[in-house]
Copies of this chain bind each other. A is one copy, B any other.
């Protein structure tokens, strides 16, 4: 990580990375995610463009260059390794992982990164089920779909969950609705109604809004 790249720049690049899934990220999207005014986002995007970390055409959104993406992926790697570490080694509750990792991700050295990765056995996914980029910036994503879209009778494995909604994370943890859990969609009420899950002999009712934030993959029964 180029040492002249500041905390703020890293945060913007990470935000743009997450916002540019389909086509360029808009200024307002970036501003909202960063919690700053649109004017501030514009100013920073212009600076990033001068540095060659993003491509920006006025009014047309912003896109990472290969150089910008490389930094963004390193930040994401730090973030997800840290979350995994805080969870598995220090026993953090789910709802405290994100904020701590957000702060630390900009301040750990490559030695720290390597040491914790090795200690954890070079994990490929964080505690929310998100993939951890490799040191060289490779990241593999799995096609998962919202639990809300599963059909009655379907057996699914939880693959990943949203990582920023604290209330939701507390609920996930309490319900053990965590990556690797297997559940059967026992019944679905109409009109975004509750969904009944079976895990072994145990049944769980969850709301539709929650089920939209749990991403699952289908498994053979």
| Number of A positions contacting B (CB below 8 A) | 19
Question: In whole angstroms, how far apart are the Cα atoms of A94 and B101 in the complex?
Answer: 25
Question: In whole angstroms, how far apart are the Cα atoms of A103 and B112 in the complex?
Answer: 12
Q: Is A109 in contact with chain B by the CB < 8 A criterion?
A: yes
State the copy count for this chain: 2
A107 CB contact (under 8 Å) in B91, B103, B112, B116: B103
- Give me 21 A-to-B residue pairs in the complex whose CB atoms sit less than 8 angstroms apart, sorted by A's number: A86-B112, A89-B89, A89-B119, A90-B112, A90-B115, A90-B116, A90-B119, A92-B111, A92-B115, A96-B109, A96-B111, A99-B109, A100-B109, A100-B111, A100-B112, A103-B107, A103-B109, A104-B104, A104-B108, A106-B107, A107-B107
Taking Cβ atoms with an 8 Å cutoff, the residues of A that contact B are 86, 89-92, 96, 99-100, 103-104, 106-109, 111-112, 115-116, 119
